[in-house]
Chain A
Amino acid sequence: MPTANDEQSHFRTAIDEYLETLPAQTCQRLYQSPASCLAVFRLLPDLAKQLVMSLLYVPTDVSMADMAARCFQECASQFNEGLQKLLRLHIIEQIGDATAAKLRMNAVFGRELRNALTGGGEHGAFGVPCDVLDKHPVDEAFLDQHATQQWEAILHFMIGTAVTKRPGRAALNLLRRSGLMASSATGDADSVSMAITNKGFQFLLQDVNTQMWAFLLQYLDMVQDLGMDLVEVLNFLFQLGTLELGKDYSVEPLTETQRRMLDDLQDYGLCYRRKKGSRRFYPTRLAITLASGNSASLDSEQNENGYIILETNYRVYAYTDSPLQIAVLSLFCTMRSRFQNMVCGAITRESIRSALANGITSDQIVTYLTTHAHPLMRQKIPVLPLTVIDQIRLWEMEKNRLQTTQGFLYQQFARQQDFDTVLQYAQELGVVVWYHPAKRMLVVTDDGHVQVRAYVQRRKNKSQPTAHGAS
């Protein structure tokens, strides 16, 4: 499978890290929107926020030493970290050499953030509410349900339990691009034959916020190929975060790109429109919490309460009726029976091994179980029974008992004496991986190969050993 197996368990999930990779001009344009400035500001670590606030209303450059002096000595590293981040985000520039460095705030960022805070500047930077009353108003519960439904449809599709409608074309495309799913050789974008990848399995075990960001970052990568303006896309995403849940907003002030986006975002459950071309849209909770930095999200209730009980006898009892949660559990549990509000399963060697075979790591399983542990489990420390966790880890280790060493095999030595000499030479170099005198076979490491081969070549007038590459 063409998956990024090597970058296993690594998700680019943090939007701030993504922003750091943007060129200065893009940032400059991005910062022209007060909503974006506010959103970026919210994403900053605490000390960086402090730094921005202190510089925000200072018209002149400030010496770096002065700023550093505002911090306790022991927090110096955090201060530096924050500063570096600001530099990478092009919010602050460093002027002068290291000895007398001065800090200057990005003028655009400063201006627009001030606007955001004081409510100045252009009208409608934080979305324009519809002035006409909706004939079919929707409430928050409906929006939550819509968001859940849309997003879970994608996850269900990934896991292969979709009985509901297939996600939209854009979403499918994104799934493939992000390597979460791979289409089989014959399939095209619309074909059914898409299979979840190892990365996709890992993806399923993340919380919704992480998933959503991982997904959207892929989207950002893709927009330029689609001829959309990255800055407008980002602006709109950040804007969504500042909107109010349950209010309807007008489509009018949006740009062409942003209107196109609206269709995709609706697919992911980030916003709701009654029908395509509708004049209004509603952001969902998913969208609003996205940029706020909190992980409150779709299954916020379960996240707070948790629903999984793991017993010392390896039984898993999950208080849930969500098909998605059950499907995710079934990735590493053998399911036994199901009641309306509870499912019962067990962690077995087989279930864990099949999870491992899918590329899921024991750490991911443990993290998933821990974050979703029932409040009863949380009363105790450690939350999960240690023995079970140990066992899961041991099962994983079981898989990794063979170590591979790259090497080159030398064989078919004509005479024992040849073999012995070469072996002795290789041993002196300390590059022998394995040898078998009776079979006259010898494996040397990659590094030693060149020297040993040269040595064999030199003796070639006496014998004709052949070298085969092998591992």
Chain B
Amino acid sequence: MHTPCSEANVNRKRRSRAEEASDEVIVDEIVDQVNVDANITALLPRGATLDISDFPSFDASRVRADAVSRLFDRQDYTYLPLKADHASRPIWINPETGHFILEAFSPIAEQAQDFLTAIAEPVSRPSHLHEYRLTPYSLYAAVSVGLETNDIIDVLNRLSKVPVPESVAKLIQECTLSYGKVKLVLKQNRYYVESQHPSILQRLLKDSVIRGARVLDGGEAIVPSRAPTADGLRIPGTARKPGSEGETDMFNAIIELDKDDDVGEDEGESVHSFEIVASQVENVRKRCNQLDLPMLEEYDFRNDTFNPDLEIDLKPITVIRPYQEKSLSKMFGNGRARSGIIVLPCGAGKTLVGITAACTVKKSTLVLCTSSVSVMQWKQQFLMWSNIKESRIAVFTADQKERFAGDAGIVISTYSMVANTRQRSYESAKMMEFIKSREWGFLLLDEVHVVPAQMFRQVISTVATHAKLGLTATLVREDEKIDDLNFLIGPKLYEANWMDLAHQGHIATVQCAEVWCEMSPEFYSEYLRERSRKRALLYAMNPRKVQACQYLIKYHEERGDKIIVFSDNVYALREYALLLKKPYIYGGTGQTERMNILHQFQHNPALNTMFLSKVGDTSIDLPEATCLIQISSHYGSRRQEAQRLGRILRAKRRNDEGFNAFFYSLVSKDTQEMFYSTKRQQFLIDQGYAFKVITHLEGMDQMEDLVYRDKASRLDYLHTVLMASEKDAILEDVGGDAEDTLSSAAARRTTGSLQSLSGGDNMAFLEMERSSRARKDTQHPLFKKYKKRHDA
């Protein structure tokens, strides 16, 4: 008997022992959403909820009525006077939406761009005109890297063709006046509330909660000390000190005056602080948010004598690239470690940035990533770039639970291992205790965008850590959960411009194309008839698409490219791969086979094409790949598109003369796929990529041994596809993705006759990729344990 009900039971049972088996799947408990939201809201300061529309700027009387004004409605800003020398200033400011439009061809565009990335979110960055948007979060980020309210408005005014509109100035003031004024600093393992303005501290101390948390050692209430500087701090791998030149030369041309003025005072500038009890930190932090004075976290790692130093440095041969240096200088700008997120495209060396940061902090480091594969990759990268002893690196996954030798070291694990709240095995419970019991100097979070907010809360509350660094390629999500990350981890410290990196040769230049495959008539009529998820299967399996795929593989193999074909739909993946006789990897592929295929793909010149399911979206590092074909994808996910593109950005051959990597997206015409496809591309288009539409592949029909050329074989094929069960139409669920996990956690309702439900339809129940967990679980844990014991 196998009913939805018993299935749920099975699931629950499986889940209880899931932890043992899973290292890839992220907790997908159904959490009380309301509760979580409430918690998060409590963490957000008032400023985060502000919007530019709160500051009305529209004044109907000022609009110069004119023949075409009505086309723009409220968006006619002709009332903003142009400055006399507007031609030499590069930006316009939109008073209603807080958008900046930047002339990227202006002589001072580069400085302006640096400045705008610091204070605003990049919206689109094609070749000539860029757009940025001012948000409370971006301003929070600006403040946390040390920009001040007046600096921001001044510089903006200097760059702008129009005077800074009142609404924008107000938003900047509102958001920045309270942000960043108070810092929570960990020095010698004592928590201090620090501020440059004694009056603010006085104000805080008037609050009973905060007063209660203060450590009274009989001395002065507020202790002044010297402001931190980056003097003497060197980020390994760079020639310069952060903060001194690294940061200033970005704004040099623009805010030079300010800096000059400041230099004199800087030396003597002082900060004031009082100490609070460690156990009260969380309360104080919450209270500060309520008081609208959110605290920035900084870790004065150089003065931390309590936590032992870790012996780690970059190898002398390791050199980091200018943009990596720039991102790190934002993090260590004042000689302390700020928490935050660094956004770099895939293939631009995020790992190295993380490792360099760890080498700068030189304290015990916890690295969290999304899968055990990337755990191994991180370990290998640490050994490759830095001089750390292998014994100091520990790996904590379902299979491996080691500790590092000595009193400081690095632990690399996955989010699910650490955030797991369910019962653990003895070993992992011990390991968790070890992680919980100690203080971590540095928490490195890989691929932060994929992890749901509640999991972060879990991680952050279980692990005592001083500085957090999130790394990601795409800070976009279809559910707007990204914003919360800013307050859970820290502001976005740096975001690279894809096109710039491509021009400088750090990442490959990619030709993107969308290939429109007409649905063959038979498939289309079935498509119109179907209502369910099978539609997705039909457009994925469209014979014209198979042909296009075959053609493109042949074409690019002849060119000498290494090709990865992506499909989210495992059924399609397998069918395509078997038909075209290529190896494939999906969630269910065993580790050995997986490694074998990857190895062959990298080194065997006879194997140039490989099919990958969603498991290959992130973290699989294949510098050999130069061409990518996408046959089925996760609906309209912009992030997946960007992640997949990332697979070819690090192409080894990228610096060859005239080298282009290719990214094809095969889309069945006149289906939902077209809609999703447009949506998916949006992020990359905003980054300046252009998708060329190919409606006809030249010479495809003349190709020999083209599959499904005649109608009979197509009908036969259609029949097979229709026979495929509903389950096959479901996209592979590889977790690690809140957008998916949340939806798949919902109950599934299926209809069917009692007979069919009870298996009377002559159908055998095969558990096929219900989830990757199930797949891993081919061996009963009992046997596994037995085997383990036996082996030992």
Contact = CB atoms under 8 A, between A and B. Distances in A.
Nearest to B513: A387
Given A337-B94, A387-B692, A313 B78 contact: no
Interface string B86-116: 1000001010110101000100000000000
A394 B695 contact: yes
A385 B690 contact: yes
A326 interface: yes
Interface string A2-40: 000000000000000000000000000000000000000
B124 interface: yes
A338 B162 CA distance: 12
B688 interface: yes
Nearest to B687: A313
Nearest to B499: A312
Interface in A372-428: 374, 376-377, 385-388, 390-391, 394
Interface in A205-255: none
Interface stretch (A112-120, A289-297, A340-348, A357-365): A340-348
B691 interface: yes
Nearest to B79: A340
Contact of A311 (B92, B96, B129): B129
A386 B77 contact: no
Nearest to A325: B68
Contact residues on B (Cβ < 8 Å of other chain), bracket: 35 or more
Given A335-B72, A340-B77, A385-B690, 13 more contacts: A312-B689, A312-B690, A313-B124, A313-B685, A315-B126, A326-B71, A330-B71, A339-B162, A340-B81, A341-B161, A376-B128, A386-B690, A390-B692
A343 B101 CA distance: 11
21 contacts: A161-B68, A163-B65, A163-B66, A309-B129, A311-B127, A313-B685, A324-B67, A336-B72, A337-B77, A337-B97, A337-B99, A338-B75, A338-B77, A340-B80, A340-B82, A340-B162, A341-B161, A376-B128, A377-B128, A390-B692, A394-B695
Contact of A340 (B71, B78, B126): B78
Interface in B131-190: 131, 161-162
A317 interface: yes
Interface of A: 156, 161-164, 309, 311-315, 317, 321, 323-324, 326-327, 330, 335-344, 374, 376-377, 385-388, 390-391, 394
Nearest to B104: A376
A377 B127 CA distance: 10
A336 B96 CA distance: 12
B686 interface: yes
A326 to B, nearest CB: 5
Interface string B58-80: 00000001111001100111101
A339 B71 contact: no
Nearest to A335: B71
B481 to A, nearest CB: 25
Contact of B75 (A156, A330, A336): A336
Given A342-B92, A387-B690, A394-B693, A312 B80 contact: no
Contacts of B97: 337
Contacts of A336: 72, 75
B67 A156 contact: yes
Given A337-B94, A338-B76, A342-B92, A312 B685 contact: yes
B67 A327 contact: yes
Question: Shortest 8 CB-CB distances between A and B: which pairs?
Answer: A161-B67, A337-B75, A312-B690, A311-B126, A387-B690, A323-B67, A326-B68, A323-B68
Contacts of A314: 685
Contacts of B82: 339-341
Contacts of B685: 312-314
Interface of B: 65-68, 71-72, 75-78, 80-82, 86, 92, 94, 96-97, 99, 101, 105, 124, 126-129, 131, 161-162, 685-686, 688-693, 695
Nearest to A386: B692
Nearest to B689: A312
A327 B71 CA distance: 8
A323 B66 contact: yes
B721 to A, nearest CB: 25
Contacts of B690: 312, 385-388
Nearest to B65: A163
A326 B66 CA distance: 11
Contact of A313 (B96, B101, B686): B686
B334 to A, nearest CB: 37
A324 B129 CA distance: 23
A397 to B, nearest CB: 8
Contact of B127 (A312, A326, A330): A312
B105 A376 contact: yes
A338 B686 contact: no
A434 to B, nearest CB: 15
Given A161-B67, A311-B127, A386-B692, A339 B105 contact: no
Contacts of B77: 337-340
Contacts of B99: 337
A193 B505 CA distance: 60
A324 B67 CA distance: 8
A330 B76 CA distance: 14
B76 to A, nearest CB: 5
B579 to A, nearest CB: 30
B64 to A, nearest CB: 9
Given A161-B68, A313-B124, A339 B129 contact: no
Contacts of B124: 311, 313, 315
A323 B67 CA distance: 6
Contacts of A391: 693
Contacts of B78: 321, 338-340
A315 B129 contact: yes
A309 B126 CA distance: 11
A387 B512 CA distance: 10
Contacts of A388: 690
Contacts of A162: 67
B19 to A, nearest CB: 44
Contacts of B92: 339, 342
B88 to A, nearest CB: 13
Contacts of A312: 126-127, 685, 688-690
Contacts of B128: 309, 311, 317, 374, 376-377
A81 to B, nearest CB: 36
A384 B418 CA distance: 51
Nearest to B691: A387
A312 B126 CA distance: 7
A90 to B, nearest CB: 46
A330 B70 CA distance: 11
A435 B124 CA distance: 53
A161 B65 CA distance: 12
Nearest to B125: A313
Most chain B C-beta atoms within 10 Å of own C-beta, residue among A161, A339, A344, A387: A339
A330 B67 contact: no
A317 B129 contact: yes
Contacts of B126: 311-313, 315
Nearest to A310: B128
B128 to A, nearest CB: 5
A388 B97 CA distance: 26
A352 to B, nearest CB: 14
Contacts of A309: 128-129
Contacts of B129: 309, 311, 315, 317
A309 B693 CA distance: 21
A335 B75 CA distance: 9
Nearest to A380: B127
B86 A341 contact: yes
Contacts of B688: 312-313
A323 B71 CA distance: 10
B63 to A, nearest CB: 10
Contact of A163 (B67, B71, B131, B692): B67
A341 B86 CA distance: 10
Contacts of B693: 387, 390-391, 394
Contacts of A313: 124, 126, 685-686, 688
